[in-house]
């Protein structure tokens, strides 16, 4: 049995234990490791980041790096930026920073459940702070608050709270970055350091593929079609140029359009199978609202562009209902108050609550010492852990599908969006087949690079009067400004991409 299907001691807070040798190892080996996965890594606005570190070292302000979180590679790209690009930018300006740029950072305590021994040592050794996202983790919040106030480096936080899987879409932000910033401001005033400003620095991250993605996408979709029991869908006559506005679509765009139809077909088959599954075997939840589905013959006859938009909209509605039902199943079996069917509680909050309830049944804080249990008691504790792990499967499925529901309706999606959605579908299929995607290497579809955009600093100290008069409103306003700051980095990245394409065409 693995650690998630047997009763375990409670998950303890892992305090940061900075080790300079770990930092040196990452600084020296990290670029070589990253080069095999992402290259190059570039950044705009490095002067702003250099200025922030200079002001930080001078004791003029404390700041937090609020970065987007589209993939699991984001922390590595941010680390590369701090250890490699910032020193280069500072040197180019004749600025000598007193300390090598670094950051403390928050990471999900659950990461330790699937990392190897080196990774489990590395995260706290680099100054990381573990936090359980499904509950009020007081030790983690105390450590974060203390390091924000007195740490050697700024604090790095992903305000979206989890990987969102999208280059072009920003998830709603969780309130942690705003709360920690105002706490730091409070602590500075209490310490008589009100001359120090508190600043939030938005950082966008975007990935770009550099190979022709269509051949590997075709192979991956063929595998997904096989997994779903679907026959292969060759390019039909209905997708010939005269049917696809030849003045707008060239041969490559026709191939992309055909792949998009195949991707929709896989998604439709997955939805239909899961709708039938939940409707048949979980009558205690609101599964009756799930669609009764028969495969649309238009998939094999060729879907025209006007019909495609309506198909996508309908699938999004079906997917939202399925996510709600999957979470209801987990909530009921973990004895949580069901928040489905229009009740309060967004998807992120519900997923966090389900995860924590499952972990409470696996990592037993209510048992002082598992070794003192009788064989019968231990057997029952292990049985409870096994059941909890099975219930968490529904939440993981909903979590994976959430990445798909965020997609915008686009009749001619760019290749990168086809890649994002197809990889989400691969993850869903892997979970249904009983294969943990975290334990498998994500399909390699081509070389890619990363580009970071450093946004405009957001002053928190200037909002002190507002915070004193109405804390809730001040928190909401600050979080909205951070959201706008991150959205601005997205627009900047898209504009840079357009300019790059235009330049290449000259």
**100 and 233 share one domain:** no
Q: Is there a domain that residue 401 lies in? A: yes
Q: Which residue did the predictor score with more confidence, 343 or 427?
A: 427
Instruction: Give the pairing type, strands 197-209 and 104-108.
Output: unpaired
Q: Taking residues 474-483, what's their average pLDDT? A: 97
Pick from 419, 439, 459: which residue ends a domain?
A: 439
**338 and 467 share one domain:** no
Q: Are 50 and 100 in contact (CB under 8 A)?
A: no
Q: Is there a domain that residue 13 lies in? A: no
Query: Residue 372: pLDDT above 80?
Result: yes
**198 and 247 share one domain:** no
- Among 104-113, 232-241, 369-378, name the one with the lowest average pLDDT: 232-241
pLDDT in tens, 310-359: 777 788 888 888 999 999 999 999 999 765 444 445 777 888 899 999 99
Domains: count for the chain: 2
Dist CA 184 CA 59 (whole Å) = 14
**457 and 425 share one domain:** no
Q: Specify the pLDDT at position 496.
A: 58
Q: Specify the pLDDT at position 406.
A: 54
Q: Specify the pLDDT at position 87.
A: 97
Provide the token pair at 63: 């700041």
Q: Specify the pLDDT at position 289.
A: 64
Q: Is there a domain that residue 393 lies in? A: yes
Binned at pLDDT 50, 70 and 90, residue 68 comes out as: very high
Q: Is there a domain that residue 15 lies in? A: no
Where in the sequence is the domain holding 384, given as residue range(s)?
Answer: 214-439
**256 and 231 share one domain:** yes
**396 and 317 share one domain:** yes
Q: Is there a domain that residue 14 lies in? A: no
Helix (H, G, I), strand (E, B) or coil at 39: strand
Assign residue 154 the CATH number of its domain.
3.40.1130.10
SS3 labels along 277-298? HHHHHCCCCCHHHCCCCCCCCH
Q: Is there a domain that residue 174 lies in? A: yes
Residue that is written with structure tokens 């983690």 in the block: 140
**462 and 426 share one domain:** no
Query: Residue 398: pLDDT above 60?
Result: yes
Burial 378-403 (b: 16+ CB within 10 A, else e): beebbeebbbbbebbbbbbbbbbbbb
Whole-prediction pTM: 0.87
**233 and 344 share one domain:** yes
Q: Which residue did the predictor score with more confidence, 305 or 432?
A: 432
Alpha-carbon 295 to chain mean position:
32
Helix (H, G, I), strand (E, B) or coil at 218: helix
Q: Which DSSP category does 451 fall into? A: E
Provide the token pair at 117: 């021994």
**354 and 475 share one domain:** no
Q: Taking residues 200-209, what's their average pLDDT? A: 96
pLDDT in tens, 14-28: 999 999 999 999 999
Q: Which of 463, 455, 454, 397 is nearest to 431 (CA)?
A: 397
**318 and 407 share one domain:** yes
Pick from 420, 439, 458: which residue ends a domain?
A: 439
Q: Is there a domain that residue 2 lies in? A: no
Element (H, E) at 472: helix 471-505
Q: Average pLDDT over the chain, rounded to whole?
A: 85
Provide the token pair at 198: 């508190």
Q: Is there a domain that residue 11 lies in? A: no
Q: Specify the pLDDT at position 502.
A: 40
> Most distant CA pair in the chain: distance in Å?
77
pLDDT in tens, 37-55: 899 999 999 999 999 999 9
Q: Are 494 and 168 in contact (CB under 8 A)?
A: yes
Beta-bridged to residue 65, according to DSSP, are 156, 201
Query: Residue 226: pLDDT above 60?
Result: yes
**496 and 408 share one domain:** no
Q: Which of 172, 196, 174 is nearest to 184 (CA)?
A: 196
Q: Inter-axis angle of helices 415-432 and 214-227, to 10 degrees?
A: 30
**205 and 218 share one domain:** no
Dist CA 73 CA 35 (whole Å) = 12
Q: Which residue did the predictor score with more confidence, 246 or 266?
A: 266
Pick from 398, 414, 439: which residue ends a domain?
A: 439
Residue that is written with structure tokens 């090598």 in the block: 100
């Amino acid at each position: 049995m693995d650690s998630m299907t047997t009763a375990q001691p409670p998950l303890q807070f892992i305090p940061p234990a900075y080790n300079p040798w770990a930092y040196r190892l990452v600084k020296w080996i990290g670029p070589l490791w990253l080069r095999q996965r992402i290259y190059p890594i570039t950044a705009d606005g490095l002067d702003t980041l250099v200025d922030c570190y200079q002001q930080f070292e001078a004791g003029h302000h404390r700041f937090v790096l609020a970065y987007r979180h589209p993939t699991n590679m984001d922390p590595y790209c941010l680390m590369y930026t701090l250890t490699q690009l910032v020193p280069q930018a500072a040197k180019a300006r004749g600025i000598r920073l007193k300390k090598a740029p670094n950051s403390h950072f928050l990471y999900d305590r659950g990461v330790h459940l699937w990392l190897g021994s080196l990774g489990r040592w590395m995260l706290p050794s680099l100054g990381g702070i573990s936090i359980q996202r499904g509950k009020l983790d007081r030790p983690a919040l105390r450590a974060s608050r203390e390091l924000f106030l007195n740490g050697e480096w700024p604090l790095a936080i992903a305000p979206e709270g989890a990987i969102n899987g999208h280059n072009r879409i920003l998830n709603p932000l969780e309130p942690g970055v705003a709360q920690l910033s105002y706490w730091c401001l409070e602590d500075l005033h209490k310490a008589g350091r009100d001359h120090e400003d508190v600043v939030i620095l938005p950082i966008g991250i975007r990935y770009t593929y550099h190979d022709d993605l269509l051949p590997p996408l075709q192979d991956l979709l063929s595998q997904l079609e096989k997994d779903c029991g679907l026959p292969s869908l060759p390019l039909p006559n209905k997708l010939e140029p005269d049917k696809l506005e030849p003045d707008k679509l060239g041969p490559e765009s026709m191939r992309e359009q055909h792949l998009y139809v195949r991707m929709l077909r896989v998604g439709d088959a997955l939805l239909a199978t899961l709708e039938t599954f939940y409707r048949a075997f979980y009558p205690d939840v609101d599964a009756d609202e799930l669609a009764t589905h028969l495969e649309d013959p238009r998939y094999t006859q060729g879907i025209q562009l006007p019909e495609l938009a309506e198909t996508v909209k309908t699938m999004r509605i079906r997917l939202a209902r399925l996510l709600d039902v999957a979470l209801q199943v987990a909530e009921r079996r973990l004895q949580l108050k069901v928040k489905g069917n229009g009740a309060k509680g967004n998807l992120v909050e519900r997923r966090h609550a389900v995860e924590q309830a499952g972990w409470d049944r696996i990592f037993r804080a209510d048992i002082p010492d598992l070794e003192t249990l009788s064989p019968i008691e231990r057997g029952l504790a292990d049985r409870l852990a096994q059941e909890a792990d099975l219930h968490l499967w529904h939440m993981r499925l909903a979590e994976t599908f959430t990445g798909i529901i965020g997609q915008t309706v686009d009749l001619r999606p760019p290749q990168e969006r086809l890649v994002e959605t197809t990889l989400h579908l691969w993850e869903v299929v892997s979970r249904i087949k009983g294969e943990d995607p975290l334990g498998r290497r994500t399909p390699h579809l081509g070389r890619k690079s990363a580009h970071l955009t450093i946004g405009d600093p957001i002053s928190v100290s200037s909002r002190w009067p507002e915070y004193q008069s109405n804390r809730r409103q001040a928190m909401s306003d600050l979080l909205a400004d951070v959201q706008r700051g991150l959205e601005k980095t997205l627009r900047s990245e898209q504009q840079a991409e357009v300019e790059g394409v235009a330049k290449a065409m000259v």
